[in-house]
């Protein structure tokens, strides 16, 4: 058991090292996170991203920044909080909707998830509820509706949800 744990740990370290050396964009992000940690004493970058995103969204109520302007607005908030982060998104689909589309966008997104979840619960459709749960969990940690990779992941799930139909 200990041997397997050590092998897994060494494999993770090796994979992380290879990733750092082979992928320049990953190396830049890792280096920027380390520098930010040294400069601010805070090593939880995501908490700072969420905080800046939430403040930017609240300051742009009720209708948000509009599509395409969120990156510039976030950049200003990052800079005002002592961060030198180029082009980091909100890393949360709910915050992204709130920042970009304001309160109407956030409420629409919540409804888009809640209505099929309630329907799935009423029908005891475990597959539908699992799909919604997966989307919600992924949305908490990445802006999946703002990235091509996220949309490629989410599109088949929305097709499955739509094709399940109301009960």
The structure's pTM equals 0.69
Phi, psi (5° rounding) for residue 94?
Answer: -70, -45
Tokens 């599109």, located at residue = 155
Spatial separation of the C-alpha atoms in residues 106 and 164, rounded to whole Å: 24
Residue 162 burial (CB count, 10 A) = 9
Residues in Cβ contact with 50 at an 8 Å cutoff, skipping those fewer than 6 apart: 90, 91, 92, 95
**Burial zone of 126 (CB within 10 Å; 0-12 exposed, 13-18 middle, 19+ buried):** exposed
Q: What is the pLDDT of residue 3?
A: 78
Across 40-63, b (16+ Cβ under 10 Å) vs e yields: eeeeebeebbeebbbebbeebeee
pLDDT digits (tens, 9 = 90+) for 153-164: 777 777 777 776
pLDDT digits (tens, 9 = 90+) for 2-51: 777 778 888 878 877 776 677 666 667 667 766 766 666 655 777 888 88
pLDDT category, 166, cuts 50, 70, 90? low
């Amino acid at each position: 058991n200990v041997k397997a744990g050590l092998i897994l740990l060494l494999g993770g370290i090796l994979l992380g090292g290879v990733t750092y050396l082979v992928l320049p964009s990953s190396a830049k992000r890792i280096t920027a996170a380390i520098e930010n940690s040294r400069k601010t004493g805070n090593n939880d970058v995501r908490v700072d991203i969420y905080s800046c995103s939430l403040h930017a969204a609240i300051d742009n109520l009720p209708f948000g920044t509009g599509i395409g302007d969120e990156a510039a607005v976030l950049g200003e908030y990052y800079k005002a909080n002592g961060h030198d982060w180029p082009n980091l998104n909100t890393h949360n689909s709910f915050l992204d909707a709130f920042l970009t589309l304001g309160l109407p966008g956030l409420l629409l997104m919540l409804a888009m998830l809640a209505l099929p979840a309630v329907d799935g619960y009423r029908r005891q459709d475990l597959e539908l509820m699992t799909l919604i749960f997966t989307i919600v969990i992924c949305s908490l940690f990445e802006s999946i509706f703002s990235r091509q990779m996220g949309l490629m992941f989410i599109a088949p799930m929305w097709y499955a949800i739509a094709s399940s139909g109301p009960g």
